[in-house]
A and B are shown apart, each in its own frame.
Chain A
């Protein structure tokens, strides 16, 4: 028997029990399918020329959303033609052009341009949201890290989380005795739950392996938080932040309708009292577009801060 074959037989026998270690690897393999689609597209590029392929891709990318929007506009136009009082797309567009020709005028405190209204709403959302982050994220860390804290917080959170944030408005008015802080308070309540919960879930999911590393290296609590917990939890936290900014923006319209002042929600209410339906429809679009932009900004931030 030659040395080589003897060696081979040995390793085969000896490595028999190690079969169970195989699952450690697949993580790397997940990446592969992406590259196969890329190579499949390559011959296509050569055949039809780069330009045609790009045009095709843009077309494929653009066609469905444009079609969707056109269908939406068509239904809207039909409904408005059949009913009375609901303005159609063209009329709304004209009104929007006029409205945005001078977004930042100030006639008196109750009559300001649409730009001011949007900015004021954004300011409230930003304030309430920032407060929620300052309170919610550290709380999430503590709750996720210590079982005692999580058991302590569980009943309170599960009791309060399903309550509509608007139900907190009267409490806000009562405590702060003013409309603006009460609206900010409502945004705070809206935004704080997703931040607490997502951060806590992230912290509690930190793999035991990493915590074992922390124990074996005897890392200080500060190092554990900055070098292990924070980087691991960042994606979870960003999900929480994204959910809460969406919800906050959703709620601000309703809150402002109730509190008054300058803001997109109050503006909608005002235009309803003026029976200016075009403006209400425009407001719906504004709220939608701003909400979309907010979320997209946060998606970009999230990508920037995830380690993968």
Chain B
């Protein structure tokens, strides 16, 4: 594979099918998923609840193995989780008995522990927490800080690993609109600085349009697949207030809404 092709197809999902074995028999969650992700690209996956967004993300993370098909990252098949693919979990998943510092340190130590001394590792940890604006909460436990702060620690933990691909599963889903907007802006700034590839699962149409280079829209399950892929060619850096009046933005937004609520409307359960 040439270098150029590698950049164009940094993360590669080929004919992936995913079937879960459950007590009630087998359940096909995903069918024929094909996706190329360029290096440095920001991809959003959007779709109705239960369609299989988290499953796609977990497949890329290596937490799940596809029943059929292949996944590659940087030209190598994804067999298990690796430090080049960091995950920000939906429910932050911080260890409650460790401080914010220790939570991040655990990741840093694992990735850089072989080559760096303790002071350097601690330095990295502090830098990551500073990046998300949490220098003041370093010694706090997760149950002593707000939901938004927990999510920041989760992001800091992922970024501290200096991943090539950042995987985010509804990172701001549990937060109020104001906190969410603040974190979205921070994430945009961080991503433009670090230049790493990102795949984010979201329910939020505005979030998807604001952050992404492409929006992957999924059909409803069972046997969900990629319905459409929307290019978001809005120039960066993007400012949310200016975008609100931008007709291109409004158009993209309504495209996603039409996909979700007209063509693939979910019947109320």
Q: A residues near B, CB below 8 A?
A: 3, 6-7, 10-11, 13-15, 17-18, 20-22, 24-25, 28, 209-210, 212-213, 215-219, 223, 227-228, 231-232, 307-308
* Chain B residues whose CB sits within 8 angstroms of the CB of A213 once the complex forms: 89, 93, 95
Q: Give the shortest distance, in Å, between A214 (CB) and chain B (any CB).
A: 9
B206 touches A231 (CB 8 A): no
* Chain B residues whose CB sits within 8 angstroms of the CB of A218 once the complex forms: 81-83, 110
Q: How far is the CA of A7 from the CA of B243 in the complex (A)?
A: 11
B241 touches A3 (CB 8 A): yes
A212 touches B93 (CB 8 A): yes
Contact of B91 (CB < 8 Å), options: A18, A209, A219, A223: A209
Interface flags, B186-205, vs A, CB<8A=1, else 0: 00000000000000000111
* Chain A residues whose CB sits within 8 angstroms of the CB of B80 once the complex forms: 215
**CB of B248 closer than 8 Å to a CB of A:** no
Given A213-B93, A215-B63, A219-B110, verify A25-B174 contact (CB < 8 Å).
Answer: yes
Given A216-B61, A216-B87, verify A11-B97 contact (CB < 8 Å).
Answer: no
B244 touches A11 (CB 8 A): no
Q: How far is the CA of A231 from the CA of B245 in the complex (A)?
A: 51
Q: Give the shortest distance, in Å, between A13 (CB) and chain B (any CB).
A: 7
Q: Give the shortest distance, in Å, between B26 (CB) and chain A (any CB).
A: 20
Q: How far is the CA of A16 from the CA of B21 in the complex (A)?
A: 31
Q: How far is the CA of A209 from the CA of B206 in the complex (A)?
A: 28
Given A3-B241, A14-B205, A218-B81, verify A21-B173 contact (CB < 8 Å).
Answer: yes
**CB of B96 closer than 8 Å to a CB of A:** yes
Contact of A25 (CB < 8 Å), options: B106, B147, B177: B147
B110 touches A307 (CB 8 A): no
Given A25-B174, A223-B106, verify A307-B244 contact (CB < 8 Å).
Answer: no
**CB of B156 closer than 8 Å to a CB of A:** no
* Chain B residues whose CB sits within 8 angstroms of the CB of A307 once the complex forms: 96-97
Q: How far is the CA of A304 from the CA of B109 in the complex (A)?
A: 28
Question: Besides A14-B204, A17-B203, A232-B97, 8 other CB < 8 A contacts?
Answer: A11-B177, A22-B174, A209-B89, A209-B91, A213-B95, A216-B86, A219-B110, A307-B97
B95 touches A216 (CB 8 A): no
B91 touches A24 (CB 8 A): yes
Closest to A306 in B: B97
Q: How far is the CA of A14 from the CA of B107 in the complex (A)?
A: 34
**CB of B49 closer than 8 Å to a CB of A:** yes
Q: How far is the CA of A18 from the CA of B63 in the complex (A)?
A: 24
| A-B contacts, 30 listed (Cβ < 8 Å) | A10-B206, A11-B177, A13-B257, A14-B205, A15-B177, A15-B203, A17-B49, A17-B203, A18-B170, A18-B173, A21-B90, A22-B174, A24-B174, A25-B174, A212-B63, A213-B89, A215-B81, A216-B85, A216-B86, A217-B161, A218-B81, A218-B82, A218-B83, A223-B106, A227-B98, A227-B106, A231-B97, A307-B96, A307-B97, A308-B96
Among A15, A217, A218, find the residue whose CB has the most chain B CB atoms closer than 10 A: A217
Q: Give the shortest distance, in Å, between A219 (CB) and chain B (any CB).
A: 6
B48 touches A17 (CB 8 A): yes
Q: How far is the CA of A209 from the CA of B48 in the complex (A)?
A: 22
Q: Give the shortest distance, in Å, between B150 (CB) and chain A (any CB).
A: 10
Q: Give the shortest distance, in Å, between B260 (CB) and chain A (any CB).
A: 8
* Chain A residues whose CB sits within 8 angstroms of the CB of B62 once the complex forms: 215
B204 touches A217 (CB 8 A): no
Q: List residues 46-61 of chain B with CB under 8 A from any CB of chain A.
A: 48-49, 61
Given A15-B204, A218-B110, verify A20-B49 contact (CB < 8 Å).
Answer: yes
Contact of B244 (CB < 8 Å), options: A6, A212, A219, A228: A6
A18 touches B244 (CB 8 A): no
Q: List residues 155-182 of chain B with CB under 8 A from any CB of chain A.
A: 161, 170, 173-174, 177
A210 touches B93 (CB 8 A): yes
* Chain A residues whose CB sits within 8 angstroms of the CB of B147 once the complex forms: 25
Given A18-B203, A21-B170, A212-B89, verify A217-B95 contact (CB < 8 Å).
Answer: no
Q: Give the shortest distance, in Å, between A226 (CB) and chain B (any CB).
A: 11
B95 touches A231 (CB 8 A): yes
Instruction: Sort A-B residue pairs by CB-CB distance and give the 3 closest, nearest first.
Output: A307-B97, A231-B97, A17-B203
Among B82, B96, B161, B204, find the residue whose CB has the most chain A CB atoms closer than 10 A: B204
Q: Give the shortest distance, in Å, between B86 (CB) and chain A (any CB).
A: 7
Contact of B204 (CB < 8 Å), options: A3, A18, A227: A18
Q: How far is the CA of A18 from the CA of B204 in the complex (A)?
A: 8
* Chain A residues whose CB sits within 8 angstroms of the CB of B96 once the complex forms: 307-308
Closest to A219 in B: B110
* Chain B residues whose CB sits within 8 angstroms of the CB of A25 once the complex forms: 147, 174
Q: How far is the CA of A228 from the CA of B203 in the complex (A)?
A: 31
Q: How far is the CA of A28 from the CA of B81 in the complex (A)?
A: 31
Q: Give the shortest distance, in Å, between B127 (CB) and chain A (any CB).
A: 18
